[in-house]
Amino acid sequence: MERLKILVVDDEQRMRKLVRDFLMKKNYEVVEAENGEDAVDLFYEQKDIALIILDVMMPKMNGWEVCKEIRQYSQVPIIMLTAKSDEKDELTGFELGVDEYISKPFSPKILVARVEAILRRTSVVEDDVISNGGITINQAAHEVMIDGSRVDLSFKEFELLTYFMTNQGVALSRERILNHVWNYDYFGDARTIDTHVKKLRSKLGDKGEYIKTIWGMGYKFEV
């Protein structure tokens, strides 16, 4: 089986080595960058990077700038590392399309578990095609079409829409959505989901009305 390649970006060599060692024990291939500019160059050179672990505070180009640059061309999963635990920073990350957000100091084993969870979900090939109300999801191609036109969604937005559409008409609590879509015990709050739903609705255009808010509980997808 081909080893999946992970890009680790951090200006601290000690931190890169720590993360690299734990990932290599799980048979991942690891490439490293010590600043944001090198990270972007490496990403475009390698072309087969399956996931990025990205520090926020770096010289030349910070993590937010790297994320913005890569998100213009790719929806590769991104895990953001930061020394800050500021809620605003976390929401900023999700707005930019970050898939997971981990504050330092962290357990390398937890980081690897989250990497595995994301890659397990992105690597599962399903030939199911879900279609409803002019929205079509091709899970094998990881592609969403609205009335025949392709819509670019981030990894989490795709997972969220798929979960909504496979549970058509079912009232879903925020806790249930977090447990399914994030696929681990997430210690966040409702704003994480609300931020993603807001972006998803915007990208769906008038179809965004299918995602209905159930006040005090969560959401329901209904055509």
At residue 35, the pLDDT reads 93
| Amino acid of residue 165 | M
The CB density around residue 93, as the number of other CB atoms within 10 Å, is 23
At residue 126, the pLDDT reads 46
At residue 87, the pLDDT reads 65
At residue 127, the pLDDT reads 46
CA 136 to chain centre: 20
Domain with CATH 1.10.10.10 in the chain: 129-221
At residue 166, the pLDDT reads 86
Peptide bond connecting 105 to the previous residue in cis, omega within 30 degrees of 0: yes
Structure tokens at 52: 């990025």
Q: Is 61 exposed, middle or buried (0-12, 13-18, 19+ CB in 10 A)?
A: middle
Regions in the chain scoring below 70 on pLDDT: 1-2, 84-90, 122-127, 183-190
Strands 135-138 and 143-146: antiparallel
The CB density around residue 184, as the number of other CB atoms within 10 Å, is 14
Q: Is 56 exposed, middle or buried (0-12, 13-18, 19+ CB in 10 A)?
A: buried
Query: Domain 5-123 has what CATH class?
Result: alpha beta
Angle between helices 155-166 and 108-123 (to 10 degrees): 60
User: pTM (2 decimals)?
Assistant: 0.60
Query: Domain 129-221 has what CATH class?
Result: mainly alpha
Structure tokens at 196: 């993603």
Angle at CA of residue 159, ends 196 and 134, nearest 5°:
90
101-151 pLDDT, tens digit per residue, is 888 888 888 888 889 888 877 664 444 788 888 999 987 778 899 998 999
Domain with CATH 3.40.50.2300 in the chain: 5-123
